[in-house]
């Protein structure tokens, strides 16, 4: 049984869905601090062009639009397996963490609703708890940076997305600051994220931002992608690293993608305890 105290910062217990941005309004200052630029400015056009080049290098917008669901499997530790399942275009997320014996927990973030449930070794629900609004925002942010390579087409398709090219960095990679809106129906303000694209391959190699609240408030947040490989008709990263705070040791891991997997019709449905 899990204590009700878990309802505060519930995602902090996960390796990937923990202690990150609750997307407070302070995050918007990252974008607003720069001089205002219109959507037709050179900075906007250059920034959008970098995202478009990346999408083309991954396989093109048409092929990305064919993806209606995706799953990432991670061997987080020797005894723990993680599976993140995403629905598109809604960006509903199902996260499952399982220990060797089969026990673990699930988290679902779906629009303005979400829940956590504990699972016993037989897979039955032993506890269910609704997520708070802060939990939903935190989960949505972590979901978006985890799946960002796959979500670039959504950024391009959303007329609300704002692009601010920051030019090449010290190694020549292209940096673009984007104002990315949550999926329709989701709570929260737009996310401010810096995207870094490889100067040669044009592929996305890092998402960056500042943690505006919580235990890591003010720390830099890095999420890196590498070793792009063919997954069907697309190229997607097979290696990830996650770093919270500049100078901290990143957590590196390999991932396995499944595109358009067959999903249970109840995967995103809130269960009852005992089921």
Structural domain total, the chain = 1
Q: Note whether residue 110 is domain-resident.
A: yes
For residue 249, the model assigns a pLDDT of 82
Q: Note whether residue 275 is domain-resident.
A: no
Q: Note whether residue 86 is domain-resident.
A: yes
The pTM score is: 0.81
- We report the CATH number of the domain holding residue 74 as 2.50.20
Position of tokens 């100078």?
A: 247
For residue 217, the model assigns a pLDDT of 60
For residue 213, the model assigns a pLDDT of 53
For residue 57, the model assigns a pLDDT of 98
Distance CA 31, CA 36 (A): 9
Give 7's Cβ-side CA count (13 Å radius): 11
For residue 191, the model assigns a pLDDT of 81
Query: Which tokens in the block code for residue 107?
Result: 């988290």
Comparing C-alpha atoms, which of 50, 16, 73 is closest to residue 238?
73
Q: Note whether residue 267 is domain-resident.
A: no
Q: Note whether residue 274 is domain-resident.
A: no
Distance CA 263, CA 219 (A): 37
Query: In tens digits, what is the pLDDT along the chain, a chain of 275 residues?
Result: 333 334 333 344 444 444 344 433 444 444 444 444 455 799 999 999 999 999 999 999 999 999 999 999 997 667 789 999 999 999 999 999 999 888 999 999 998 899 999 999 988 999 999 998 878 877 888 888 899 999 999 999 999 999 999 989 999 999 999 998 877 666 667 888 999 999 999 999 999 876 555 555 666 778 899 999 999 999 999 999 988 776 778 888 999 999 999 999 999 999 887 66
> Containing domain of residue 147, as a range?
4-259
Could you count the other beta carbons within 10 Å of the beta carbon of residue 169?
A: 11
- In this structure, the chain runs to a length of 275
In sequence order, the β-bridge partners of residue 81 are 98
Could you count the other beta carbons within 10 Å of the beta carbon of residue 45?
A: 12
Distance CA 212, CA 75 (A): 29
Query: Who contacts 41 (Cβ-Cβ below 8 Å, separation ≥6)?
Result: none
Comparing C-alpha atoms, which of 164, 135, 195, 216 is closest to residue 44?
164
For residue 8, the model assigns a pLDDT of 34
Q: Note whether residue 99 is domain-resident.
A: yes
Query: Who contacts 113 (Cβ-Cβ below 8 Å, separation ≥6)?
Result: 130, 131, 136
Distance CA 97, CA 132 (A): 20
Query: Which tokens in the block code for residue 202?
Result: 């044009």
Q: Note whether residue 271 is domain-resident.
A: no
Q: Note whether residue 227 is domain-resident.
A: yes
């Amino acid at each position: 049984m899990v204590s009700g105290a878990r309802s505060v910062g519930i995602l902090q217990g996960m390796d990937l869905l923990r202690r990150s941005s609750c997307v407070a309004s302070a995050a918007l200052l990252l974008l607003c601090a720069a001089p205002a630029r219109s959507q037709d400015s050179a900075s906007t056009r250059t920034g959008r062009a970098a995202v478009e080049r990346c999408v083309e290098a991954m396989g093109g917008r048409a092929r990305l639009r064919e993806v209606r669901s995706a799953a990432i499997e991670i061997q987080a530790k020797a005894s723990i397996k993680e599976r993140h399942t995403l629905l598109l275009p809604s960006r509903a997320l199902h996260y499952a963490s399982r220990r060797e014996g089969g026990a673990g927990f699930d988290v679902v973030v779906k629009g303005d609703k979400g829940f956590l449930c504990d699972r016993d070794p037989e897979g039955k629900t032993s506890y269910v708890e609704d997520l708070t609004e802060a939990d939903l925002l935190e989960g949505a942010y972590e979901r978006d940076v985890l799946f960002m390579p796959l979500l670039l087409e959504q950024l391009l398709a959303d007329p609300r997305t704002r692009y601010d090219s920051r030019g090449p960095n010290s190694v020549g990679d292209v940096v673009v600051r984007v104002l990315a809106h949550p999926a329709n129906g989701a709570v929260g303000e737009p996310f401010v994220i810096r995207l870094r694209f490889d100067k040669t391959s044009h592929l996305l190699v890092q998402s960056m931002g500042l943690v505006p609240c919580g235990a890591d408030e003010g720390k830099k947040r890095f999420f890196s992608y590498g070793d792009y490989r063919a997954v069907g008709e697309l190229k997607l990263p097979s290696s990830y690293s996650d770093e919270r705070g500049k100078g901290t040791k990143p957590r590196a891991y390999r991932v396995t993608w499944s595109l358009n997997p067959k999903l249970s019709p109840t995967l995103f449905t809130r269960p009852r305890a005992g089921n």
